[in-house]
Amino acid sequence: MTTASTRPPEGRYGRSSDERADRKLKVVGAFLAVALLGLVGWFGYHYVAQNEISAEVISFEPGKESVRVHLEVRKDAGTEGYCTVRSQAEDGAEVGRADFRFDGDDTRIDQVVTLRTTAPGTTAELLGCHAA
């Protein structure tokens, strides 16, 4: 006893609608992948090329009325800008925030700055740096 095939013979009736839909999905997927890759590349270039100042907190010393923050700033020669630093109390409330300006021809600045606080600060956090 043999079983009858439920598929039509190959090539007899042309391509099925499923094959056409698969091809359309592949084309749309390829287009979206290229667009996403281009967008990621553009944002990456914009971030790297436009970021003229970068910095990091090396260390900090909390006090009752201020926090001493050791900052290391890297920038292009001749670029002026500022970095924003904040301090928080033990309960998470912000107790101090200030902008520190950097200018001149040095490309690397290693500086200790004093952030005045309204209460004892337990942290020193660099929020970001911007070219002026």
Q: Please report the pLDDT score of residue 8 as a whole number.
A: 67
**pLDDT value at residue 76:** 83
Neighbours of 69 (CB within 10 A): 26
pLDDT of residue 120: 93
DSSP annotation of 11 reads: T
Looking at residue 103, what is its pLDDT? 83
pLDDT tens-digit series, residues 63-81:
889 999 999 999 888 888 8
Amino acid at 68: R
What percent of the chain clears pLDDT 90, i.e. is strictly above it?
Answer: 55
Query: pTM, whole model, 2 decimals?
Result: 0.61
Query: How much is the pLDDT for 22?
Result: 83
Amino acid identity, residue 113?
V
Alpha helices in the chain (DSSP H): 17-50
pLDDT value for 50: 65
For the chain, residues with pLDDT lower than 70 are 1-5, 8-9, 11-17, 48-51
